[in-house]
Structure 1
Amino acid sequence: MALPPPQPKKHHFTLLYLLLILITLLLFSHYTLTPPSPPLPTQILSPQNHTFTFTIKLLAYNRLHSLTRCLHSLSSANYANDTVHLHIYIDHFPNSSFSTDVGQKLESFKEILGFVDGFEWLHGVKVVHYRTVNVGLQGQWLEAWWPVNDHDFVFVVEDDLEVSPHYYLFLKKLILFYYYDDNNFSPWVFGASLQRPRFVPGKHGNKMNLDSESKLFLYQLVGTWGQLLFPRPWKEFRLWYDDHKARGIKPFLEGMVTNGWYKKMGERIWTPWFIKFIHSHGYFNIYTNFPHERALTVSHRDAGVNYGKTAGPDSQLLDRNSRDIDLVTMNPLSNIQWYDFCFRKVLPGRVIKVLDDVGSILHTMELQKPILLVSVSQASEKAINNLICHFERLNIRNYIFIVPQRKSDLLRDLPRRGHPVIVTESVFDSITGGKNSHHELISETVVQAYVIKKCLESWFDTWVISGNMLPLTNNPLLDIGDRTSDFYVGKGSRHFAVRISSSSRNIWGDVFVQRLADMTESLVGRDGGSFGDVVEKFFDNIGIRLNIVDDTGVSLKLETTDMNQSVSTNTKMITWSPSTDADIVRGRLQQLGMWIIDVDSSCKAVVCHQS
């Protein structure tokens, strides 16, 4: 039988009481002291076979009070005994011979430098960079970092920022999960912002409504109030910036609020440059979504370049008492929502290689609107990019690109930007049981016929076009049809449309598409032709009525346009032959005001249509 523990003596109670008083005083002493560990695990495994560096880049100017608050919050965070370096960049005041307060400015900056020199950073190496000239926010951001390798990360903060004690452990977990975990890595994620999401830069964009379950989401917008940057995308941006700046190309992006910022402030700010880069390259940023307007970083929006007078904190800081927030669990990348500059959902990765999977794309389409099947086999990549910009302008969302395997760049680029793709050869193989066709047009025609059947089964009107066409309305062939038939071919454009009805579903059934597939080789002929040509010949052979729509009056043939011709209000589409030289196509479309991509082959404007 165990003996009872000895009872403490009276002087032991006195010592215990004094010890409790001492602990209380320490806890409420000056906040530069190391705080107690927050309610997060302090042991996070390092990436296997990798060690990464983490450096804080603090950008400061002339706000000592802001800088003091920022440094104390950074110093008080929990770093779990990791090495974290601190680089402080202090911008110089503008030198001017006409300034009457030079002496006062010098004293102010001496005070800032004295504070920074005396500030003790216990977590790694502290480096202070005091500039000799004023470079502004753009220079501060762009010159703060050049990654030394692919495992070099920075967290950029401006001096009026305050960070949560949990920020570092959260970012470390995020890096391990979304950068080093192959199952959750995407090369198109450029970093993570810790600020509360609240801004949609696309004019007339959607309101930022997020459900409480979406703790993390992906958004194209960069965050300047606590931004983690991944090394490779930042290097790519810096080289892109140098190239465009050297050639005098401005970061104009119509339809964006930030476009007005740049026109007003010019090179004093850097975000329009990065936004333009993100738009052209299709990158995304990880954001957090915590309830009650809380965030891991808070901007106090002190008076400076961005604010004429202090606006106060933009959100509530997640402090040590925020125990209702799970900061450890990371959702798989496949379960996270993606949003563009209009805060419109982006659905990346929609690539179909088997016919039975076409339904998964159709389930993502808007109901009661036609499906556009777009053949890209005979179109240039720039023409396809220009077509996508017109789709955006017209708010055409229901389209699927049919792409042959030889167009590898499009197969890689289109799905990651959220454009659905059918791989021609793979789907053809799934239809024929692996019987490959040596004629690309035959494979494409068979695939189009079977996909139309899938669209009709899901009650969608369907329109088959090529990349050598620009629609100027949402559905030109059906707009001008006489509605006496379900099937239409444009007399001038040679493009095909089918209207959904019980009769069209019955006609375009299994027997129909099998017969069309069997006859495709003879119908295509030696000189090829469009899908509309094939369908017209097939309908003649089987005796089904086909409506030939006279679209010559509303279809503009690019090869026949003269230098002074313009697009009339009656024009519903622009077409050109696949054999037309790509430079001629671009030049003519530019003259007509219909070439709306820039030197990066990205849209010149962001067009928001509210959902």
Structure 2
Amino acid sequence: MDVATRTALLLSRLVQALRPRILFHIQEKSPMFHSLDTLAKSHHLSTIQLPISDIQHVLWIPNLPVEALQSWNQINIDLVVITDRRPHSLSRLFNSIGHSNYLGDKVDLTIHMEQSADRVTRMFVNSFSWNHGTKQLRHRIRKGGLMPAIIESWYPSDNDNYGVILEDDIEVSPLFYTWIKYNILHYRYSKSNRDSYQWIYGISLYSPRNLELMPEGRIEFDPNDNLLPGNFPPRTPYGSQVPCSWGAVYFPEHWREFHQYLTSRLLDLQAKPPRLNIHVPNSRSERWKKSWKKYFIEMVYLRAYVMVYPNFQDFESFSTNHLEFGTHIKHDRAQTALDSFVVPLMQRDTLISQLPDHQLPTFEKLPMLDLWGRLMSHETMDTVASEWHQKVSACTRRRPHERFNPQDLLCPFPLTNSNSQSIETSSTTIKKKQNKTVLTRHMLEHVEYVTVHYDEQQDQDRGNDNSGGGGSLVPDMNAWDDMPEPLDVATMTTSASDHEYEDDEYKDLEENWESLQKITKLISSA
């Protein structure tokens, strides 16, 4: 009997005596590994297989209840990368995710390329090697802008499927997956947080340094200015209603609900005039028309949903945004404002040591901030949402256990006489706009390619023929220089066309230059 078989037999007797529910073991390719795997299956044990190098990054495991740990392999986390024509930025992101710790999990990667992705980007994406799961490539054939690029990039397959959405100007910490796994197990699979799955819609990797939804513009933000006076321990993570687009994982039920909500909102906006009157009071996002976050903010405000944010020393985060120049940032002067967005990445694992009591707080003890960074209880947040619901929807608000269906948010009020007059006025305005002369700004003439086969030897034979039949068929070689060249869609877009599809949250960022300058000065002097 070899050593592996003898060890497996002894372990089997030990399992029968102790009757454990989870088996931990080192992940390695050896006869012992297969023996342990067989043992776990025969005794219906949940297994957690960890690479020996990652054990130091899961010291939070003792803080989790057994029922949460039993769901370890049930969780399926997808990485989604969205890119256009910034191969340098993409290479930085790929380098960071390639050197991250994945705790032995299978993690699939999907890369979505915009229609205008350049040749270098396409080649780089094809050659990138991903060893932690499957790699899938997607390429759009029609430019759609950031909203469909984000929203259509991922859709959950079940309620244990989670999506990490990363744009190509993001860089992640090697510990980003560790932060995600710990939070999901804690807030989604622990009995002590059994109600939190209804309210938490995702986990942010990024720690914001400014508030973006103030009506007057961006202002400097430090969550501890509100949390410490509220007697919360330093470095306490917090829940915020603001969705993070600079590195975050989104939860399946809420993402599906948002898909339904956004579909209905966009269809209604095509009506003449729209019937829905959904808006968020005193939010700068009301200025945005093409941003997916505008509509997500509407939904979370009316639902009292929150996202969990890290709150480590000096804004240390698990992702940062480099705000590359290109589709989003057009003005050279914005370069000096990047300090207000770039945050340090956690390189050395201090996750547990920085958390209060060395563990994540329960949902009941998680401090909550609204869209404007104001500290309030979640009960108050839900009350505010319920009261505002009555002003924007004619349907009764759903109870928490009936959530994840947005239909109660999408009920227009019955038309009144004043509404009818408003509609008539609006229709007249629309007709006037339609009667305006439309000027053509750009026109591309249709190009037809003709392939001609030229046989040089045959032409020479005809040229030497004395029968008087025709001259040489040799074409004028100089004329070939005037032939049309193949078009590269990656080079056809202009600044104007880029702005046409640009997420106007970023346009607002550019226009908010003075506020950015003030924030940068405050950060530099801190």
When normalised by structure 1's length, the TM-score is 0.48
2:99 corresponds in structure 1 to: 76
- Matching of residue 141 in structure 1 with residue 141 in structure 2: no
Distance 1:81 1:387 in 2: 44
1:198 Cα offset (Å): 2.5
| C-alpha RMSD of matched pairs (Å) | 3.9
Q: 1:320 aligns with which of 336, 348, 353?
A: 348
Distance 2:354 2:221 in 1: 26
Q: Supply the distance in 1 between the matched residues of 2:120 and 2:277 (Cα, whole angstroms).
A: 38
Counterpart-to-counterpart distance in 2, 1:167 and 1:321: 11
Taking structure 1 as reference, are residues 258 and 306 closer, same or farther at Cα in structure 2, changes over 3 Å only?
farther
Q: Is the 8 A contact 1:60 1:158 kept in 2?
A: yes
Relative distance call for 1:251 and 1:115 in structure 2 (3 A) is farther
SS of 1:314 mapped into structure 2: coil
Aligned partners of 1:61 and 1:92 also within 8 Å: yes
1:161 CA displacement: 0.7
- The structure with higher relative contact order (CA 8 Å, sep 6+) is 2
Q: 1:230 to 1:242 in 2, by over 3 A?
A: same
Q: In structure 1, what residue type is equivalent to 2:188?
A: Y
Secondary structure, counterpart of 1:192 in structure 2: strand
Query: 2:176 maps to which residue?
Result: 167
Q: Distance in 2 between matches of 1:588 and 1:182?
A: 52
Match of 1:519? none
Alignment-derived partner of residue 332 in structure 1: 362
Question: Residue in 2 aligned with 1:233?
Answer: 254
For residues 362 and 158 of structure 2, what CA distance do their matches in structure 1 show?
26
8 Å contact kept, 2:108–2:134: yes
Identify if the C-alpha distance between structure 1 residues 214 and 37 changes in structure 2 by more than 3 Å, giving closer, same or farther: same
- Matching residue within 120, 133, 140 for 1:131: 140
Q: Please give the secondary structure, in 1, of the residue aligned with 2:105.
A: coil
**Correspondence for 1:447:** none
Deviates more, 1:197-206 or 1:72-81: 197-206
Decide which of 194, 200, 213 is 1:189's aligned counterpart: 200
Task: Provide the rounded CA distance (Å) in 2 between the counterparts of 1:254 and 1:387.
Answer: 12
* C-alpha separation in 1, matches of 2:164 and 2:240: 18
Q: What's 2:309 paired with?
A: 287
How far apart are the structure 1 equivalents of 2:297 and 2:351?
Answer: 35
1:256 aligns with 2:289: no
Q: What's 1:41 paired with? A: 58
Structure 1 residues 18-46: Cα deviation after superposition (integer angstroms, max 9, x where no partner): xxxxxxxxxxxxxxxx9965842279586
Residues 139-177 of structure 1 deviation map (CA, whole Å, 9 limit, x = unaligned):
111101121111110111111111111110111010000
Distance 2:418 2:301 in 1: 22
**Aligned-partner Cα distance in 2 for 1:64–1:270:** 24
Match of 1:121 in 2: 130
Aligned pair 1:51/2:74, yes or no?
yes
Letter in 2 for 1:316: P
Q: Which residue of 2 aligns with 1:245?
A: 266
The letter for the 1-side match of 2:247 is G
Deviations 1:364-421 (A, max 9, x none): xxxxxxxxxx9xxxxxx99x8369879xxxxxxxxxxxxxxxxxx77957xx9xxxxx
Other structure's SS at 1:154 match: strand
3-state SS in 1 of match to 2:82: strand
Higher radius of gyration, 1 or 2? 1
Counterpart-to-counterpart distance in 2, 1:189 and 1:226: 16
Matches within 5 A, 1:10-49: 37=54, 39-41=56-58, 47-48=69-70
User: 1:324: Cα distance to partner?
Assistant: 8.3
Q: Deviations over 1:85-132 (max 9, x none)?
A: 111111112xxxxxxxxxxxxxx7221111111111111111111211
CA gap of 1:387–1:329, structure 2 versus 1, over 3 A, is closer
Residue-by-residue CA offset, 1:251-291 (whole Å, 9 max, x unaligned):
7544212222x1xxx32x32112111212222111111111
> Taking structure 1 as reference, are residues 274 and 386 closer, same or farther at Cα in structure 2, changes over 3 Å only?
closer
Pairwise mapping of residues 380-395 of structure 1 onto structure 2 (< 5 A)?
Answer: 385=387
* SS of equivalent to 2:112: strand
Q: 5+ unaligned residues in a row in structure 1: which ranges?
A: 1-33, 94-107, 352-373, 375-380, 391-408, 417-582, 594-611
Residue aligning to 1:604: none
Tell me the distance in 2 between the aligned counterparts of 1:59 and 1:75.
16
Write out per-residue CA displacement over residues 477-508 of structure 1, whole angstroms, 9 at most, x where no aligned residue. Answer: xxxxxxxxxxxxxxxxxxxxxxxxxxxxxxxx
Relative to structure 1, is the Cα distance of residues 143 and 285 closer, same or farther in structure 2, using a 3 angstrom cutoff? same
**Kindly tell me: are residues 589 and 189 of structure 1, through their superposed partners in 2, closer, same or farther at Cα, counting changes over 3 Å?**
farther
Spell out, residue by residue over 1:544-600, the C-alpha distance to the aligned partner (whole angstroms, 9 max, x if none): xxxxxxxxxxxxxxxxxxxxxxxxxxxxxxxxxxxxxxx89x969989x9xxxxxxx
Letter aligned with residue 161 of structure 1 = I
8 Å CA contact retained: 2:368, 2:376: yes
Q: TM-score normalized by structure 2?
A: 0.55
| 2:205 corresponds to 1:216 | no
SS at match of 1:129: strand
Distance 1:251-1:71 versus aligned 2 partners, 3 A rule: farther
Question: Are 1:38 and 1:320, in contact at CA under 8 Å, matched by a contact in 2?
Answer: no
Distance 1:43 1:272 in 2: 36
2:377 partner letter: L
For 1:258 and 1:350, the matched residues in 2 are separated by: 22
Identical columns (%): 22
1:50-69 CA-to-partner distances (Å, cap 9, x unmatched) read: 71211001111111110000
In structure 2, list runs of 5 or more residues that go unmatched: 1-50, 270-275, 404-412, 423-526
Higher mean C-alpha displacement, 49-58 vs 214-223: 49-58
Note the 1:368-517 alignment, pairs <5 A.
Answer: 385=387, 412=399
Matched letter for residue 369 of structure 2: Y
- Change in Cα spacing, 1:234 to 1:411, as seen in structure 2 (3 Å) is closer
Amino acid at match of 2:108: H
Equivalent residue, structure 1, for 2:209:
198
